[in-house]
Chain A
Amino acid sequence: ILNVEQSPQSLHVQEGDSTNFTCSFPSSNFYALHWYRWETAKSPEALFVMTLNGDEKKKGRISATLNTKEGYSYLYIKGSQPEDSATYLCAFNSGYSTLTFGKGTMLLVSP
């Protein structure tokens, strides 16, 4: 059973704060690390798919880094807005078709 851990479990920040959370995954048999954003009453939506050690990807105010040797990825949100409130899921892929998901970090951004 693959262990994909996310921390913190939940986070409450004020509008304008920058924040980050962590996904840790097995460092062996790494193929890809996915980040998804899941808003309440909607389906998970892909943010990033990262494959190379040292990868850094950015989409607007959201960015992610990847360290495959030590088995972690960080997701950063700069200047959080209320519309960033969602659960952020990471998913690990070892080269087979399965994506193994973490439990997610629930972010709440207050105005």
Chain B
Amino acid sequence: EPEVTQTPSHQVTQMGQEVILRCVPISNHLYFYWYRQILGQKVEFLVSFYNNEISEKSEIFDDQFSVERPDGSNFTLKIRSTKLEDSAMYFCASRAGSRDRGNTEAFFGQGTRLTVV
């Protein structure tokens, strides 16, 4: 069964360092997402990506964050200069379906636990 894969499963980084979280969405899916969950809090939307560009982003997704789909299979989230409060579980998801239609389910990866020290 196709699945979304994320690497690494756990990353520890020093404050101020850049990190890149990697995701391989399900092939033939059109929409790609990053969500995060800070321990004990709700799942928060970061960004959605469609047709090689950002379609929506939240207030969390500031200039320190960027996304890329460099080679048609990987979907990466980069944090340029990590802060302590960036420590969270980061989930990648992908969804099939036509543009801006929410009636197809999202498939999530297993997550990357980012710890900023």
**Chain A residues near B (Cβ < 8 Å):** 31-32, 34, 36, 42-46, 49, 51, 89, 91, 93-104
- Min CB–CB distance B73 → chain A (angstroms): 19
Number of interface residues of B (CB under 8 A): 28
- Please indicate the chain A residues that have their CB under 8 angstroms from the CB of B45 in the complex: 98-101
Given the complex of chains A and B, what is the CA–CA distance between A104 and B48 in angstroms?
A: 21
Q: Are A99 and B100 in contact (CB under 8 A)?
A: no
Q: A32-B102, A46-B107, A97-B55 are in contact. List 10 more A-B contacts (CB 8 A).
A: A34-B105, A34-B106, A43-B91, A49-B104, A49-B105, A89-B43, A95-B100, A95-B101, A97-B95, A97-B99
Of the candidate stretches B14-22, B64-72, B77-85, B108-116, the one touching chain A is B108-116
Report the separation of the CA atoms of residues A2 and B117 in the bound assembly, to the nearest whole angstrom: 32
Known: A43-B4, A43-B111, A101-B35. A95 touches B42 (CB 8 A): no
Q: A43 vs B111: C-alpha distance in the bound complex, in angstroms?
A: 7
CA distance A74 to B1 in the complex (A): 29
Chain B residues packing against A (C-beta within 8 Å): 4, 31, 33, 35, 41-45, 48, 50, 55-56, 91, 95, 99-111
A residues near B105, Cβ cutoff 8 Å? 34, 46, 49
